Amino acid sequence: MSQVMTPYAPYLPEENAVTGPLSPAAALRRREEWTRVVKRIRELGGLGDDWDGQGASPPRRENVNAAMRWAILAMDQPKAVPPTYVAPGTMGEITVEWESESCYLELEFREPMRAETMWERRGLPTVHETIDDPSGWYVQEE
Amino acid sequence: MAEPLDAIDPEEIVLRRVHLQYYKPNAPVRIDRGAFKPTPSDVDGISLYRASRVSAQQVQGERGKPENYAVVRLSARAVLALGVRLSPAERPDDPLPGHMVIPELNCTEYLRDKTHLKELTRKLAEIANGEDVLPPATPPA
Comparing CB atoms, the residue among B19, B29, B111 nearest residue A52 is: B19
CB contact under 8 A, B34 and A104: no
**CA nearest to B12, candidates B105, B86, B97:** B86
In the prediction, which pLDDT does A8 show?
43
Q: Which residue of B has its CA nearest to A102?
A: B28
Contact of B129 with chain A, judged by CB distance below 8 Å, is answered with: no
Comparing CB atoms, the residue among A85, A91, A118 nearest residue B118 is: A118
Mean of per-residue pLDDT scores for chain B: 92
**Dihedral through CA A53, CA A48, CA A134, CA B123, nearest 10?**
0
Mean of per-residue pLDDT scores for chain A: 84
Q: What is the C-alpha separation between A135 and B122, in angstroms, rounded?
A: 25
Residue B112, exposed/middle/buried by CB under 10 A (0-12, 13-18, 19+)?
A: exposed
Residue type, B49: Y
Contact of B34 with chain A, judged by CB distance below 8 Å, is answered with: yes
Query: What band does A80 get if pLDDT is binned at 50, 70 and 90?
Result: confident
Chain A closest-CA separation from residue B23 CA (Å): 10
CB contact under 8 A, B21 and A95: no
Is the separation of the CB atoms in A93 and B33 below 8 Å?
no
Query: What distance, in Å, lies between the first and last C-alpha atoms of chain B?
Result: 55
In the prediction, which pLDDT does A19 show?
53
Give the pLDDT mean for B5-15.
90
CB contact under 8 A, A88 and B17: no
Mind listing the pLDDT tens digit for each residue in B28-64? Answer: 889 999 999 999 999 999 999 999 999 999 999 987 8
Chain B closest-CA separation from residue A8 CA (Å): 15
- Here the ipTM equals 0.89
Helix count and strand count (H, E) for chain A: 2, 7
- The ranges assigned to domains in chain A are 23-139
In the prediction, which pLDDT does B59 show?
97
What is the phi/psi pair of residue B46, to 5°?
-75, 150
CB contact under 8 A, B38 and A90: yes
Q: Give the best residue of B18, B29, B32 to mutate against chain A (max A CB count within 10 A).
A: B32
Give the pLDDT mean for A47-59.
96
Q: How far is CA B52 from CA A37, B6, B12, B13, B76, in A?
A: 41, 11, 7, 7, 12
Give the pLDDT mean for A7-27.
56
Mind listing the pLDDT tens digit for each residue in B12-27? Answer: 999 999 999 999 988 8
Comparing CB atoms, the residue among A87, A116, A120 nearest residue B21 is: A87
Angle at B79 between CA B77 and CA B25, to 5 degrees: 115
Residue A140, exposed/middle/buried by CB under 10 A (0-12, 13-18, 19+)?
A: middle
Contact of B122 with chain A, judged by CB distance below 8 Å, is answered with: yes
Mind listing the pLDDT tens digit for each residue in A98-131? Answer: 988 888 999 999 987 889 999 998 889 999 999 8
Give the pLDDT mean for A44-54.
96
CB contact under 8 A, B37 and A54: no
- Angle formed by the axes of helices A24-44 and A61-74, to 10°? 180
The full DSSP string for chain B is -PPPTTPPPTT-EEEEEEEGGGB-TTSSS-B-GGGGSPPTT-SS-EEEEETTTS-HHHHHHTTS-GGGEEEEEEEHHHHHTTT---EE---TT-SSS-EEEETTS-HHHHHHSHHHHHHHHHHHHHHHHTS-EEPPPPPP-
CB contact under 8 A, B19 and A53: yes
